[in-house]
Chain A
Amino acid sequence: MRTLLYLLRKEFSQIVRNRLIVRAIFILPLLQMLVLVPAVTFEIKDVRITISDGDLSQSSRQIASMLDGSEFFTVTGYAASANEAAASMSKGECDVIVSFLPGFEKNIITGTGSVMQVTVNAINAVSAQLTWAYINAIIRDYSMAMADEAQVVAGQTFSPPVKISTRYWYNSSLDYKYYMLPGVLVILVTAIGFLLSGLNMVREKETGTIEQMNVTPVRKYQFIMSKMIPFLIIGLIELSLGLIIGRIAFGIPFEGSLFTMFLGATLFLAGLLGLALFISSFSDTQQQYMFIAFFFTMIFILMSGIFTPAESMPAWAQNLNIANPVAHLMKINRMVMLKGSDISDITPELKALTVIALLFTLLAVLSYRKRA
């Protein structure tokens, strides 16, 4: 135990000595959280529409001004021809083209039904779908109003038979900050923990100081522990700072218990640092380690369901994800923070993290050889 304490003291003084790294560990992430968390929203607003009006009738103008009047759309241009409209789309000057063919109004009046063509830039499939859904809703309202008018004359009213009411729990206004903060926090903790611990180990190899450790009576597990514990603590501090920022700067509630969250985070960091040290035993240079770490962090992060729903991945990827510690921490963070889930709710995730932590720590101890 005393040996371990001395080793820990050495590690800490080495870390603190390196001013630039200390700054990079704390200031860079916090700054990024402050700037990046409020950045993301997926609220459709001010989508740019070009109108290509071949009818120039009262109805077509009315629809155009209805679209322009909605908070989701702005009419940014009128094209004289279909070609001109297509060109403005290709230049990126508009996202949607709404075109009315000649005879648009006549067909409404005669009751044959008029077609309005909507062309959406669908490179981003999700926003294209949302855009289309909103346009559709606006046109439906317009149509209903017209139909109602016609039917009032005939002595009937037309209204939709089913009323659908939607509520959003845990984040009633769908504030994206609630969603981003846990995500960005997990990414930062992951990247810092993974880079720091592994680079530290490889650096000892590269500069040869590891030889000096090898000839001391320090046991393998003690050495590995001394390389894990400091970074585990740094990771937890990072997490606490992030939560404080979330509370103070963004007013994000914390529904669950801090103990549950830190239990999850500790298990997560043990697994992550174990993996980092395991990988570092295969790398001779910091450059090699860096690229492997880059590979793993990217895969862990993008597969974790931070920005895209994990359920949308193919079944094999979801199975692989059981070994992805970031995915588990991600779920735990969001569930504990926003929904107030307790230990019994997140038992599957905690179990998975425990297995990952034990496995990788064991591998790290076993793969470290005290011989050159």
Chain B
Amino acid sequence: MKRFLGFVRKEFIHIFRDYRTLVILFGIPATQIIIFGYVVSNDLKSAGIAILDQSRDEITVAVSSAITASGFFHIAAEPRSEAEIDAVFRKGDIKAVIIFGNGFGKRLLTEGVADVAIIADGSEPNVANLVNGYTTAIINGYLTGLMQNGPGVKMPVVPEVKMLYNPELRSHFMFVPGVITLILILVCALMTSVTITREKESGTMEVLLVSPLRPVQIILGKVAPYFILSFVNVIVILLLSYFVFRLPVKGSMVLLLAECMLYILMGLSLGIFISTTVATMQQAIFISFLGLLLPSLLLSGFIFPIEYMPGIYDYISFILPPRWFVVIIKSIMIKGSGLGDIWRETLFILAATILFIGLSIRKFKNRLE
């Protein structure tokens, strides 16, 4: 035990000596959370559109101004004919064109029907969907108001909606937990994967191997200091998300912290495991960064919900701990769930941790023989 503590002390000294890395280590997650919480969002705000009004009557002018007054759109181009639309899209300033046909108002008043065409830029499907939904709602809303004077019909069924957990529909609720999940696994895996390969590359690993420390002790000794550092990181991040983004913690704080500990332990053991399979720091960095960045970004349900992915991805993302942690952290913070609701997800992360630690220890023994 005394030997082990001595080893941990050595590790701490190594870490604190390199104060630059330490500053980066604490600075980065905090800055990133703030930037992403404030900047990244999926909402539609002031998207550029164009209105091609071939009618220019009282009604089309009023509908157009209702669209621009909504705050979701601004007019970014003014094509004069349908032939110019392609050129406008190719410049990339607008997301959609709304076209009112000739004699729109007259037809609406005399015949009671009229056509509107929306052409949306499909190269960004999400935005296209949202633009289409919003403009349709605005146009319908305006014209329904106009038609109230005519023969009004009362709807027999009126649906009423309650947006649970996030009544203001803020995208923070998606992005802050997602960024926490992403940053923690990357930072943890990068830290430990580099620290062991560093010993290998500089040759000091041999010294450790011939010391009376057992493989388990070496691995735990490497993990322990980073575990404490990462835990401080977690606390900083949670404080930020609470005070800056008003993200609630509805569930138990103790449970949340315990789950975070488990998750960083998983990240650190993953890093250790990576380090046992590579020879140089460069390789370790490449594998952990390139291998983890995109899968954790895309398959964790952080930006794109897993439910909407083709069935097979439900299984592929199954092996990715970030997927489970996103669920855990959202459930505890936003829904106020207890362990009873998330034990399955917790079990998966626990299993991944044990697997990574087990594999690392085995690999380590092999090297000794």
Contacts and interface: CB of A to CB of B under 8 A. Distances in A.
Interface of A: 18, 20-21, 24-25, 28-29, 32, 35-36, 38-47, 59, 63, 89-92, 95, 108, 111, 113-130, 132-133, 135-136, 139-140, 142-143, 146-147, 150-151, 156, 158, 160-176, 178-179, 184, 187-188, 191-192, 195, 199, 203, 284-288, 290-292, 294-295, 297-299, 302-303, 307-309, 311-314, 317, 331, 334-335, 338-342, 345-346
B133 A120 contact: no
A175 B140 CA distance: 27
Interface string B132-154: 11001101100100010001011
B117 A165 contact: yes
Contacts of A32: 290, 294-295
Contacts of B173: 122-125
A168 B32 CA distance: 35
B103 interface: no
Interface string B84-120: 0010011110010000000000001000111111111
B308 A288 contact: no
A294 B28 contact: yes
B127 A309 contact: yes
Interface stretch (B158-166, B211-219, B253-261): B158-166
A203 B202 CA distance: 12
Contacts of A286: 194, 281-282, 285
A126 B39 contact: no
Interface string B263-293: 0000000000000001111110111011101
Given A179-B125, A291-B28, A309-B124, A111 B285 contact: no
How many residues of B sit at the interface, in one of the four size bands? 35 or more
Contacts of A167: 117-120
Nearest to B286: A24
A293 to B, nearest CB: 8
Given A42-B129, A126-B126, A169-B119, 4 more contacts: A38-B310, A164-B115, A174-B129, A284-B20
A119 B125 contact: no
Interface string B166-191: 11011101100000000100110010
A128 B163 contact: yes
B307 interface: yes
15 contacts: A24-B286, A42-B304, A90-B337, A122-B173, A123-B173, A125-B42, A128-B163, A135-B161, A143-B157, A151-B153, A156-B151, A166-B118, A174-B129, A178-B123, A192-B290
B122 A178 contact: yes
B45 interface: yes
Contacts of B252: none
Given A125-B166, A128-B169, A294-B28, A339 B89 contact: yes
A92 B294 contact: no
Contact of B47 (A42, A163, A311): A311
Given A21-B283, A146-B157, A308-B42, A166 B120 contact: yes
Given A168-B120, A288-B20, A191 B290 contact: yes
A123 to B, nearest CB: 5
Interface of B: 18, 20-21, 24-25, 28, 31-32, 35-36, 38-48, 86, 89-92, 95, 108, 112-130, 132-133, 136-137, 139-140, 143, 147, 151, 153-167, 169-171, 173-174, 183, 186-187, 190, 194, 198, 278-283, 285-287, 289-291, 293-295, 297-299, 303-305, 307-310, 313, 316, 327, 330-331, 334-337, 341
A341 B187 CA distance: 39
Contacts of A168: 119-122, 125, 128
Contacts of A115: 158-160
Contact of B122 (A143, A147, A172, A285): A172
A311 B126 CA distance: 13
A125 B308 contact: no
Contacts, number: 358
A125 B153 contact: no
B41 to A, nearest CB: 5
A126 B130 contact: yes
A161 B113 contact: yes
Contact of B309 (A40, A120, A295, A297): A40
Contacts of A59: 157
Contact of A24 (B159, B290, B309): B290
Contact of B160 (A116, A133, A297): A116
Contacts of A130: 129, 133
Given A42-B129, A199-B282, A313-B41, A113 B154 contact: yes
Nearest to A128: B163
Contact of B116 (A108, A164, A173): A164
Nearest to B99: A165
Given A126-B130, A164-B118, A179-B123, A91 B157 contact: no
A294 B190 contact: yes
The 4 closest A-B pairs by CB, nearest first: A171-B122, A168-B122, A122-B163, A125-B169
A176 B125 contact: yes
Contacts of B169: 122, 125, 128-129
Contacts of B20: 284, 288
B305 A171 contact: no
Contacts of B293: 187, 191, 297
Nearest to B152: A158
Contacts of A192: 290
B39 A291 contact: no
